[in-house]
Every structure is written in structure tokens, then in C-alpha cells.
Amino acid sequence: MRMNMKSPRGWFNIYFVLAAVALAAGCQSHHPHYGKKQVATIRLYLETHEDASAGTVFVTRQRIPMTVERDPFLDESDLARARFVDEADGTYAIDLVFNDHGAALLDMTTIGNRGRRIAIFSHFPPPGTKQELDDVPDSQPQPAASGKPRRSGWISAVVINGRLTSGSLVFTPDTTRAEAEAIVAGLNNVASKSKS
């Protein structure tokens, strides 16, 4: 059967196919409403038992106390890209992929620290808000006040089960889906700016 492109039904089919393709392409992106102005930072701190060079922080909204080194061993300056990962069970994760320098630091840090944890801190302020991304994270988590979304927080503690040689760290953040998407979008914007 030949389709008559001049008939209204033929045009409807073309528009329907184009709309379906556009919708499918839109579904690939988990953060279409975050523009190039969304920024975020990520800081990875190693758990330690040496009190002289450490500080206590309270990680996640469950306020898990951890003693961590005062300086992060990795941050967004060594990030190649971030990825939002939808898990099969309906949960989600963040995949941090580091450049060669960051991958080497991740490998060296995890090689001899099996059983310790990595505390992860992120700033992810909404675009247009006044919050310095270079601020040193507070030891206290910053809960959402009066229903407003958080702008930063200690979002995860990852147990080191072995050497991480791939340059990638996948973790489940203690954030809402919208916060995780904002973090990923902001990190990718910061990473692309640092490459240019």
C-alpha cells in the first residue's frame, strides 16, 4: 500500500514518528532542565585514624561520624565526566570517571586502604545562588530547610573493598534524584569548562 504524502493522515504519521524520536532522545538525558549554569564540586576524603591531621565529619543524613583527612585526595579538577546511573531496582547511582591523573590518585589511595571508607562531599547550588564552591565543607551536614533543596552535603561513604584501577568510582548518593541529577549536570559543566 502506497502512502499519499499529501493526505492529512500521511503527514500525521510523519509528525508522529518525529515526535516519538524526539521524545526518545529526550528520555536519554536525566537532567534536561539543568543548563550550562549549573555547577557542582565533588571532594573525596579518606577515612583515617590519625587525629593530628584529621577532622570528624557526619556523613549522609543519618549523620554517620567519620574521622577523615583534612584535605581531599581527589576533587572535580581531576574529573573527566560524571554519569547518572539508573539501577534495575529503581535506585540510582553516580559514576565518577577521572582523568589519568585522577585515576592514578584513586588507584594509589585505594591500594593500601582496604576496609577504610571514602567520604564524599559535594556543593551543588542552584544556578544564580551565592555560594562559594571553594568553601571548605562543614563537619555538619546541611539539611534542607523549610522544604528547600540542599545546596551541599556529605552525600556518601564508600567502603574500599580493593584496589580501584579503572579510574571510575560508582556510589549511591544519599540525595534525592533531583539533587543527584544536579550534581551530575554541574560536574559535567565544570569538567567541560576545565577542558576548554
The DSSP-derived string for 26-79 is HHH-S-TT--TT---EEEEEEB---GGGEEEEEETTTTEEEEEESS-SEEGGGE
Distance between CA 157 and CA 132 in Å, rounded? 23
Of all residues in the chain, what percent carry a pLDDT higher than 70?
67
pLDDT in tens, the chain (196 residues): 444 445 455 444 444 444 443 444 333 344 445 567 889 999 999 999 876 666 888 888 888 888 999 899 999 999 999 999 998 898 999 999 999 999 999 999 999 999 999 999 999 887 766 555 545 455 444 444 445 566 889 999 999 999 999 999 999 999 999 999 999 999 999 988 776 5
**Which residue is associated with the grid cell 576533587?**
75
Q: What is the CATH architecture of 36-195?
A: 2-Layer Sandwich (3.30)
87-108: pLDDT as tens digits: 889 899 999 999 999 999 999 9
CA torsion, ordered 100, 59, 71, 134, to nearest 10 deg: 80
CA distances from 34 to 106, 126, 188, 189 (A): 29, 9, 11, 10
Q: Residue 167: CB partners within 8 Å, gap ≥ 6?
A: 80, 97, 98, 99, 100, 102, 103, 106, 107
- For residue 27, the model assigns a pLDDT of 38
| 3-class DSSP assignment, residue 96 | strand
Q: Whole-model pTM?
A: 0.74
Would you list the domain boundaries of the chain? 1-30, 36-195
Distance between CA 191 and CA 14 in Å, rounded? 38
**Which residue is associated with the grid cell 564524599?**
120
- For residue 1, the model assigns a pLDDT of 44
Distance between CA 129 and CA 151 in Å, rounded? 9
